[in-house]
C-alpha cells in the first residue's frame, strides 16, 4: 500500500524541549511539504523540499527545522524557539512531473506542548 | 504572488440539497492547476476534484462538480444531493505548472460545510 505515514498521531512535550515529527512516504514522490494547522484555521506552509538535500522556508519557518537526506523521509523538528508549538501538523508529498500535480497528505500529528 | 480566497467561512445545506462553495484566485499565469480538498473531522486531507486550467471542460467527480471561469478567476465547487458524510472543511488550492524550486500549492482559508438532517 502506497502512502504517507506520520508518527505518532499524538505527541506531548514539555515546554523548552525540541521534538521531531516523522514523515515517511513510499509513493516515490520528489516533493515533500510540512504544514501547520491551528483550530478552525487553514493550512500554513512551514517548509518544503523539491529534491533530496534541498529545502525551502515556507511562510512560518521560524522555530522549525527540517532535513531531507532521503527521498522517502522529511522529518520536522519543532525547536524550543517556536513560541506556540501546540498545533496539528500535516505532511504532504507530490510528484514533479506534469499531470497529477496534487498533494497527497499524511494523517497528521497533533502536538501538545505544556 | 498567487492568492486564493474563499469568502464563505461557513455554510449549511439541507441533506439531499445542492450547495455551491465559492473560490476566487489571483494569478498572472496562464497555465495552472486548481484543486478542492476536503478535511472531515478525522482531519485527513482528501482530494475531491482537480481542474487543469488549459481544459475548458469543467471537472466532475460523481456528485462533485466545478464551475471554472478562467477569465473571472473563479473556481466554485458544487455538491449535489448533499450527504451527512459531506460535512467537512473544504479547501480550494492553486498550483503553478512550472516545476521550479519554489513550486508549492497555495491554499485558501477554507469553508466549513454543515449538513442539516
Question: Which tens digits make up the pLDDT trace of B3-21?
Answer: 999 999 999 999 999 999 9
Shortest CA distance from A94: residue in chain B: B104
Look at B96 and B78; give whichever has higher pLDDT.
B78
Predicted confidence at residue B20, as pLDDT, reads 98
Residue B25: which residues within 8 A CB-CB, separation 6 or more? B2, B3, B4, B5, B34, B73, B75, B92, B94, B106
Smallest CA–CA distance, residue B3 to chain A, in Å, is 13
B47 closest CA partner among B66, B70, B32, B69: B66
The mean predicted confidence, pLDDT, of chain B is: 93
Using alpha carbons, select from B30, B31, B68 the residue that is nearest to residue B49: B68
In total, chain A counts a number of residues equal to: 114
Q: What is the average per-residue pLDDT within A108-112?
A: 96
Residues of B in contact with A90 (CB under 8 A): 43, 45
Gap between the Cα atoms of B17 and B14, Å rounded = 6
* pLDDT of the residue at A105: 95
pLDDT in tens, A7-28: 899 999 999 999 999 999 999 9
Predicted confidence band at A40 (pLDDT cuts at 50, 70, 90)? confident
- Measure A16 CA to nearest chain B CA, in Å: 27
> What DSSP state is assigned to residue B63?
T
With a CB cutoff of 8 Å and minimum separation 6, the contacts of A53 are: A68, A69
Which residues in B lie closer than 8 A to residue A96 (C-beta atoms)? 99, 103
Give the model's pLDDT for residue A44: 93
Cβ–Cβ gap A90/B45 under 8 Å: yes
pLDDT at B102 exceeding the cut of 70: no
**Beta strands of B16-99 (E only): which ranges?**
19-21, 24-26, 32-39, 46-52, 60-61, 64-69, 74-79, 88-96
Which chain B residues are within 8 Å of A37, Cβ to Cβ? 43
Band of pLDDT at residue B2, cut at 50, 70 and 90: confident
Predicted local distance difference test score (pLDDT) of residue B99: 63
Test B47 with A102 for CB contact under 8 angstroms: yes
Mean predicted lDDT score pLDDT of chain A: 91
**Using a CB-CB distance cutoff of 8 angstroms, which residues of chain B are in contact with residue A42?**
91, 107-110
Residue with the three cell numbers 537526506: A69
Indicate whether A100 pLDDT > 70: no
Positive or negative CA dihedral for B10, B32, B99, A71?
Answer: positive
pLDDT at A69 over 90: yes
- With a pLDDT cut of 90, the percent of chain B lying above it is 80
Question: Of A110, A108, A111, A113, which Cα lies nearest the Cα of A83?
Answer: A113
Q: Does A41 touch chain B (CB under 8 A)?
A: yes
Amino acid at each position: 500500500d502506497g502512502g504517507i505515514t506520520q508518527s505518532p498521531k499524538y505527541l506531548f512535550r514539555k515546554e523548552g524541549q525540541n521534538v521531531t515529527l516523522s514523515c515517511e512516504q513510499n509513493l516515490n514522490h520528489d516533493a515533500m511539504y510540512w504544514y501547520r494547522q491551528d483550530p478552525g484555521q487553514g493550512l500554513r506552509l512551514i517548509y518544503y523540499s523539491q529534491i533530496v538535500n534541498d529545502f525551502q522556508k515556507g511562510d512560518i519557518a521560524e522555530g522549525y527545522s527540517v532535513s531531507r537526506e532521503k527521498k522517502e523521509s522529511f522529518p520536522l523538528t519543532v525547536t524550543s524557539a517556536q513560541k506556540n508549538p501546540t498545533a496539528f501538523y500535516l505532511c504532504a508529498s507530490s510528484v514533479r512531473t506534469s499531470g497529477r500535480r496534487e498533494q497527497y497528505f499524511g494523517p497528521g500529528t497533533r502536538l501538545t506542548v505544556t | 504572488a498567487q492568492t486564493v480566497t474563499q469568502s464563505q467561512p461557513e455554510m449549511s445545506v439541507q441533506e439531499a440539497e445542492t450547495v455551491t462553495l465559492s473560490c476566487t484566485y489571483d494569478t498572472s499565469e496562464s497555465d495552472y492547476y486548481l484543486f478542492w480538498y476536503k478535511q472531515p473531522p478525522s482531519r485527513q486531507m482528501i482530494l475531491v476534484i482537480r481542474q487543469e486550467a488549459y481544459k475548458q471542460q469543467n471537472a466532475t467527480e460523481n456528485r462533485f462538480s466545478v464551475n471554472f471561469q478562467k477569465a473571472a478567476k473563479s473556481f466554485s465547487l458544487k455538491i449535489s444531493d448533499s450527504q451527512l458524510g459531506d460535512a467537512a472543511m473544504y479547501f480550494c488550492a492553486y498550483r503553478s505548472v512550472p516545476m521550479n524550486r519554489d513550486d508549492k500549492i497555495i491554499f485558501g482559508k477554507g469553508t466549513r460545510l454543515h449538513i442539516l438532517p
